[in-house]
Amino acid sequence: MKMIATKPLYRRNAALFVEQATALNQPLLLKKGHLTANGQSLLGVITLTILPGDTIDFISAASLSSLIQYVEECALFRKA
């Protein structure tokens, strides 16, 4: 699912995102351009340098509905 960042994802925002992503109990990949990172790894998320306006692909076999709801409520991302 494509999402657009509305806040930078570093420090606290990245930690909150990883906490929610880990609750999926299924692998989650984040793709920004040609870079792909583990969405359940703080270092992986920070490595992508996600800034407002960046389009990020959320890739997982799991249902992402709870994660999408969380990131929209926290205004971290919005649907593309």
Give tens-digit pLDDT for 3-41: 999 999 999 999 999 999 999 989 999 999 999 999 999
Threshold 0.85, pTM exceeds: yes
Helix (H, G, I), strand (E, B) or coil at 20: helix
Q: Quick: pLDDT tens for 41-78.
A: 999 999 999 999 999 999 999 999 999 999 999 999 99
Total domains in the chain come to 1
Please provide residue 57's backbone torsions phi and psi, each rounded to the nearest 5 degrees.
-90, 125
Provide the CATH number for the domain around residue 38. 3.30.1340.10
Q: What is the pLDDT of residue 13?
A: 96
Q: Which domain holds residue 56?
A: 2-79
pLDDT band at 2 (very low <50, low <70, confident <90, very high): very high
Q: What is the pLDDT of residue 58?
A: 97
Identify whether the C-beta of residue 78 lies closer than 8 Å to the C-beta of residue 3.
yes
